């Protein structure tokens, strides 16, 4: 057991057994039903009630709990309207009706209408252009058709990347408004029966969400880098970089169909077509729409619930566990299904404490508010307590919704073996094997399927000879971001899913208790499995003699990322050379249908050979330092010397904040808030991670000077990491 002497490992297994014995699925069901009984978005009465309910529960369970409030910019819509004015007229309903068999779907008195937060107010009229998912490659396709969105209103479908990128890119291309709809191919009848017959998005269902530019910073748009306390210095709204400049509206596919059906212009490429019974065209026009959005732009209070259990031996090493509690409406799946898991863990740990047990390290259980608009509760708390966290935080463990199926885990790569060991000790409730074995089987089968994607095949290959559960790297989209990517605190994301049927009601009023107990985790068996997984991670991190981690896992992963970069540059070089040949031969013009407008692609700049030497040299050093450290630690833990508690004290002190070696104070190019040099949300993916982001995005964007600069920066942080490992090895070998 990583980080444990053999004697303590035996005691730890006992502790985890006791912990497991205190978990009761009925608790989760009761709490979920109550907390999802009313709309609980930021500013709603029930949001505050939920926070107060949790505070009282944590206290009842023996925790030192309080609510920490912030004041954050949270615009709410006062008028939202969309109508088609040509070639025929149609007024969008923009309303999600109640459905039979879903008790809360009529309880919408306190709910806000479907909207996206942090777009601009506006009253615009323009021709419509269909831009598919509205991502950079989509605009390249439109360019090939000679279509510009300047002065137009775009309609884009959900999917492919962070919601906020769609209007951001539309604005950058000159659009004056942005409509985002949910195509039935993606999460409506094209993918499964719709609610209430089945689980998926009904015709009038709308996906709400934030369109803040989270790739720049997360949290309150007005207080980047500092806590949004009452007296914080705030930016004027006009200067907040994460606020968008054009109005944005999410709509249902029932509302989208007449708009899309009225588009003329070229046929949409086959990959752009959804499941509506129409022929998808690009426009522009003749469909012309009028979009109106106005909002009330005040500050609103948010309520983080913070519960602390002081460590008996190492009180200044904190194991933090978080999940948010605000939803878009009822939020049963997202986030409450996992928030009640966190509560179950806290109750069980409280019971252990009542029996006289004390954690060696300090536990901090947090239920964040305002994750939905932009990871605000967690970010403001992390920014407020940044100095203390840099000193004390040892690990942050996040979850954000739960379901039936397979363990999904991502995080700092040094934690991979640790997570694998924990997963090997949790039973899958449906099959009886461990959740580790089940996930491994899934990866192997997915990779073996005919037509499996390259990523699935690669993962299966890794699993065949490597870890059963390869830890994913983290982009953004949940509350780990301020901890991991802003502060450099080692972090994990954990959750089950893949067999549940939750995606179809994401961010709609149908994300309800009734829906969850039919299509999510009906008997809360996976609620128990997640409580065991996250609980064991927390308890092992709290009790370990040395914080569980394997430097070799990190070195291996960064080595793999670097290999990807070599290949990326080589592939781009070859593809670019090929594009130049084809352009020089006029092949694009000859291959195109002359009766349609077809532009050859823009000539890409040639890809030079890049200087990978600084990175590759740093990796050679890292691999050796990591191997030395892992070996020295294993020897120390195994040997009798291990009983020398002071040696471990010294070692823990040396390892505290190790992940922060990967932080660079200047941050990433153009977004200084993101300081982790190994993981970041992609500028053009959002949710999706970019590993070694400074180098990778510079290559992708063909900024060769930036490649050079970032190659050195990354080599620098890796060398600093290696130095810390070397120092720890030296201490161990004394």
Instruction: For a copy of itself, give the closer residue by CB, 6 or 430.
Output: 430
Cβ at position 199, least distance to a copy of itself in Å: 11
630: closest CA among 722, 562, 704? 722
Instruction: For a copy of itself, give the closer residue by CB, 596 or 644.
Output: 596
Instruction: For a copy of itself, give the closer residue by CB, 185 or 650.
Output: 185
Cβ at position 140, least distance to a copy of itself in Å: 10
Q: Which residues pair with residue 299 across a beta bridge?
A: 73
CA distance 327 to 510: 12
Instruction: For a copy of itself, give the closer residue by CB, 106 or 574.
Output: 574
Structure-token pair, residue 23: 């978990």
Cβ at position 206, least distance to a copy of itself in Å: 19
Cβ at position 457, least distance to a copy of itself in Å: 11
Instruction: For a copy of itself, give the closer residue by CB, 402 or 579.
Output: 579
Instruction: For a copy of itself, give the closer residue by CB, 226 or 452.
Output: 452
Residue 291: how many other CB atoms lie within 10 Å? 23
Specify the DSSP class assigned to residue 70. Answer: E
Q: Are 91 and 289 contacting, i.e. CB atoms less than 8 angstroms apart?
A: no
CA-based R_g, the chain, Å: 26
Cβ at position 604, least distance to a copy of itself in Å: 12
Strand order in the sheet with 64-73: 64-73, 299-309, 361-368, 314-324, 393-398, 491-498, 405-411
Cβ at position 360, least distance to a copy of itself in Å: 36
Instruction: For a copy of itself, give the closer residue by CB, 298 or 448.
Output: 448
Instruction: For a copy of itself, give the closer residue by CB, 214 or 260.
Output: 260
CA distance 339 to 399: 8
Cβ at position 409, least distance to a copy of itself in Å: 17
CA distance 642 to 636: 6
Cβ at position 91, least distance to a copy of itself in Å: 22
Structure-token pair, residue 175: 């659009």
Q: Which residues pair with residue 286 across a beta bridge?
A: 263
Cβ at position 683, least distance to a copy of itself in Å: 19
Instruction: For a copy of itself, give the closer residue by CB, 403 or 694.
Output: 403
Instruction: For a copy of itself, give the closer residue by CB, 238 or 590.
Output: 590
407: closest CA among 477, 471, 463, 490? 471
Distant-in-sequence contacts of 665-674, Cβ < 8 A, 24+ apart: 668/693, 668/694, 668/697, 669/694, 669/697, 669/698, 669/706, 669/710, 670/216, 671/215, 671/216, 671/217, 673/216, 673/217, 673/218, 673/224, 673/225, 673/486, 674/217, 674/485, 674/486
Cβ at position 85, least distance to a copy of itself in Å: 23
Place of tokens 């509506």: 276
Cβ at position 441, least distance to a copy of itself in Å: 4
Q: Which residues bind a copy of itself (CB under 8 A)?
A: 137, 184, 189-194, 198, 200, 267, 270, 273, 275-279, 405, 430-431, 433, 437-438, 440-442, 444-446, 448, 450, 499, 575, 578-579, 582, 585-591, 593-595
Instruction: For a copy of itself, give the closer residue by CB, 81 or 261.
Output: 261
Q: Which residues pair with residue 66 across a beta bridge?
A: 306
Residues with Cβ within 8 Å of residue 238, at least 6 apart in sequence: none
CA distance 99 to 108: 12
Residues with Cβ within 8 Å of residue 361, at least 6 apart in sequence: 311, 313, 314, 315, 317, 318, 319, 394, 541, 542, 543
Q: What are residue 366's phi and psi, to 5 degrees?
A: -130, 135
Distances in Å between the alpha carbon of 224 and those of 43, 234, 278? 21, 9, 44
């Amino acid at each position: 057991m990583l980080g444990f002497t053999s004697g303590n490992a035996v005691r730890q297994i006992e502790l985890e057994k006791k912990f497991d014995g205190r978990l009761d699925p009925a608790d989760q069901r009761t709490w979920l039903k109550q907390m999802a009984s009313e709309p609980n978005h930021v500013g709603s009465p029930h949001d505050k009630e939920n926070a107060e309910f949790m505070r009282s529960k944590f206290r009842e369970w023996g925790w030192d709990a309080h609510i920490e409030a912030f004041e954050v910019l949270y615009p709410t819509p006062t008028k939202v309207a969309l109508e088609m004015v040509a070639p025929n007229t149609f007024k969008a309903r923009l309303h999600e009706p109640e459905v039979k068999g879903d008790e809360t779907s009529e309880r919408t008195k306190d709910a806000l209408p479907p909207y996206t937060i942090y777009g601009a107010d506006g009253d615009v009229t323009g021709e419509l252009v269909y831009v598919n998912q509205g991502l950079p490659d989509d605009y390249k396709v439109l360019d090939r058709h000679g279509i510009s969105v300047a002065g137009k209103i775009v309609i884009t479908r959900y999917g492919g990347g962070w919601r906020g990128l769609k209007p951001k890119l539309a604005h950058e291309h000159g659009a004056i408004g942005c409509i985002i709809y949910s195509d039935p191919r993606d999460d409506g009848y094209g993918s499964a029966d719709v609610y209430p017959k089945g689980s998926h998005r009904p015709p009038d269902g709308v996906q709400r969400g934030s369109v803040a530019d989270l790739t720049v910073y997360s949290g309150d748009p007005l207080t980047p880098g500092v806590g949004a306390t009452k007296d914080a210095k705030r930016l004027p709204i006009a200067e907040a970089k994460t606020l968008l400049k054009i109005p944005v509206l999410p709509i249902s596919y029932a509302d989208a169909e007449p708009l899309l059906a009225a588009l003329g212009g070229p046929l949409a490429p086959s990959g752009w077509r959804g499941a509506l019974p129409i022929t998808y065209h690009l426009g522009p026009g003749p469909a012309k729409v009028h979009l109106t959005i106005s909002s009330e732009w005040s500050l609103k209070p948010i309520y983080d619930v913070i519960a602390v259990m002081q460590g008996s031996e190492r009180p200044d090493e904190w194991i933090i566990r978080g999940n948010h509690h605000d939803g878009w409406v009822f939020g049963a799946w997202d986030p409450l299904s996992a928030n009640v898991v966190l509560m179950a863990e806290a109750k069980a740990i409280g019971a252990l404490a009542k029996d006289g047990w004390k954690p060696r390290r300090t536990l901090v259980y947090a239920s964040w508010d305002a994750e939905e608009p932009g990871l605000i509760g967690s970010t403001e708390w992390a920014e407020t307590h940044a100095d203390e966290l840099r000193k004390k935080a040892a690990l942050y463990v996040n979850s954000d919704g739960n379901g039936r199926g397979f363990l999904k885990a991502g995080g700092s790569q040094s934690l991979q073996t640790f997570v694998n060991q924990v997963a090997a000790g949790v039973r899958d409730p449906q099959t009886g094997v461990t959740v580790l074995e089940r996930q491994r089987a899934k990866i192997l089968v997915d990779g073996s399927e005919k037509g499996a994607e390259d990523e699935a095949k690669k993962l299966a290959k890794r699993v065949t000879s490597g870890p059963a559960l390869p830890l994913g790297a983290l982009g953004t989209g949940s509350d780990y971001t301020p901890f991991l990517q802003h502060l450099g605190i080692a972090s994990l994301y954990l959750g089950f899913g893949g067999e549940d049927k939750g995606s179809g009601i994401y961010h709609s009023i149908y994300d309800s208790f009734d829906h969850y107990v039919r299509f999510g985790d009906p008997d809360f068996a996976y609620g128990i499995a997640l409580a065991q997984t996250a609980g064991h991670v927390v308890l092992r991190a709290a009790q370990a003699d040395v914080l569980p981690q394997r430097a070799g896992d990190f070195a291996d992963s960064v080595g793999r990322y670097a290999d990807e970069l070599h290949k990326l540059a080589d592939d781009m070089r070859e593809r670019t050379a090929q594009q130049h040949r084809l352009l020089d031969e006029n092949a694009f013009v000859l291959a195109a249908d002359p009766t349609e407008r077809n532009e050859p692609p823009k000539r890409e700049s040639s890809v030079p050979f890049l200087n990978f030497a600084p990175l590759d040299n740093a990796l050679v050093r890292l691999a050796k330092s990591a191997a030395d450290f892992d070996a020295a630690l294993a020897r120390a833990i195994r040997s009798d010397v291990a009983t020398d508690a002071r040696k471990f004290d010294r070692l823990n002190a040396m390892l505290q904040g190790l992940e922060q070696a990967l932080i660079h104070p200047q941050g990433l190019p153009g977004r200084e808030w993101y300081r982790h040099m190994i993981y970041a949300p992609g500028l053009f993916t959002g949710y999706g991670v970019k590993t070694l982001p400074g180098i990778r995005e510079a290559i992708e964007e063909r900024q060769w000077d930036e490649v050079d600069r970032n190659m050195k920066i990354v080599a620098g942080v890796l060398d600093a990491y290696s130095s810390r490992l070397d120092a720890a090895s030296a201490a161990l070998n004394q």
